Amino acid sequence: MSSLQLDQIGKRYGAVEVIADLSLDVRQGEFIVFLGPSGCGKTSLLRMVAGLESVTRGRVLIGGEDVTHLAPGQRKLAMVFQHYALYPHMTVRDNLDFGLRNVGLAEAEITRRVAEAARMLELDALLQRKPDQLSGGQRQRVAIGRAVVKEPALFLFDEPLSNLDAALRGRTRVELARLHQRLGATMVFVTHDQLEAMTLATRIVVMNKGAIEQVGTPAEIYRRPATRFVASFIGTPGMNLLNVQRLEDDAQGLCQVVAAGGQRLATRVPGHQLTGQDLCLGVRPENLVLAEPGARGTLSGRVELVEFLGERTLVHVALADGSLVIATAAGAQPQRGEAVGLAAQLGELQLFDARGRGHAAPLASAEGDAAAVIALPRARLA
C-alpha cells in the first residue's frame, strides 16, 4: 500500500477549467471517498490519478514518487470501473489471471493470488463460470477480484456500485468495507451516494464545482459542515438553513441571533468567530424536535407534510415567516395544518457567514446538551 499526494492539480478542457489548484494528501491505508454532485470533477480527478486523463498542471505522487507523466500500467495501481468490463468468453478464473499472465508472472504466483482473491471475495465456487452465468453482484466481485490479484499500491473505484439494485448495493458495500479491513490497502472511491461515503470512508472529500469544500471523517462532515454547500448536500434530508440577523453577543461571548419571524435565539457559537450582521442558522432535522405550540423557548409553525419512514418520522413545518423546516417527531404523529412548536439542541445549532463558511459550538459544548432554543427577553441588533 502507498500514500497518494495531489499537489496543486489543475485540469482544463480547452477554455473550460474543471479543476483548479486542488491539493490533497491521502495517507497509507486510508479509505478516501470523493463525494459530490454530478459534474463536480470527482471522476476527472480519479482518472488523472489513474493516468487515463492528462494533468494540465500540478503533480500526482504515489508512494512519494512523481507519476504525473507515467502511463497507467506504470503507476502500480488497480482501478474498478462502474461497468464490470469482464471478458464474456472467459471463465471467472481466466478473467482474474489474464492480466497476470500478460506481464509474465510465474504460474505458482498466479495460482496463489487467484486463490487468495477468490477466498476473500467468496468466488471459489464460481471460478469455472462465465460472466453471463453470474448475478450482478457476483460480476462486480469478479471485477474487484481482478484488481485485488494485482496487489497494487493503490486501489481506485469509480462508482462501482451504481449499477446494482438497492439490496445488492448494501451487501457489496459491506464486502468492500471488509476487504479494506483485510488488506489494509489504500483505497480511493468516487461516488455521489452519501450512504456509501458515510459507511465506507475513513475520510470524505466533499467536492463542488471542481474544488474541495471539506475533508474530514464522516462524523466531522455531518456534524460540523465547513460550508453551506456541505450542510445542505450531506444528510437526507439536508440541514435546515434559516436566514437570521446577528445580535449582541451574550455575557459569555456567544452569538445571539434573531430569525426573520422575530424569534430571538441563542447559540453556543463563539461570537469572535463571526463577522457581518447577516448570517444563516443551520440545524439538522434530528436536532429539531416537536414541542408544545407557544411553549417558552420554541419556534412556532404549522405542519405542512408528515413523512413516516419507519425508524423515524419527518415533519415539514412552515414557520411564521414562510420558511420551511424539517423536524423529527417522537410518539404520536401531528396532523397537517396543526400548530406546533419546535425545540432545538443548542450545541448543534450552527451559523454560516456571508461567504458561506460554517461556525459551530466546540464539540465539548454540544455533547449531552438537550436544551431547547432559548428566546432572549430583549436584544438589539449589533
Interval 329-371: pLDDT, tens? 877 788 999 999 888 888 889 999 999 999 998 866 555 454 3
Domain 4-226, CATH? 3.40.50.300
- Give the pLDDT confidence score for residue 85 in this predicted structure: 82
Q: What is the CATH number of domain 230-366?
A: 2.40.50.140
Number of neighbours of residue 330 by Cβ within 10 angstroms: 9
Tell me which residue has cell 424569534: 263
338/73 Cα distance (integer angstroms): 63
Evaluate whether 155 touches 187 at the Cβ level (below 8 Å). Answer: yes
**Domain residue spans of the chain:** 4-226, 230-366
The reported pLDDT for the residue numbered 296 is 61
**Residue ranges in the chain whose pLDDT is less than 70:** 1, 294-297, 363-382
CB-CB neighbours of 23 under 10 Å: 12
One-character DSSP codes across 170-197: HHHHHHHHHHHHHH---EEEEES-HHHH
Cα–Cα distance, 116 to 182 (Å, whole number): 11
Identify which of 270, 372, 281, 288 has the alpha carbon closest to the alpha carbon of residue 329. Answer: 288
Residue 334 to residue 295: CA distance in whole angstroms: 16
pLDDT digits (tens, 9 = 90+) for 89-104: 999 999 999 989 888 8
Q: Residue written as cell 450545541?
A: 347
Q: What whole-number distance in Å separates Cα of residue 40 and Cα of residue 350? A: 25
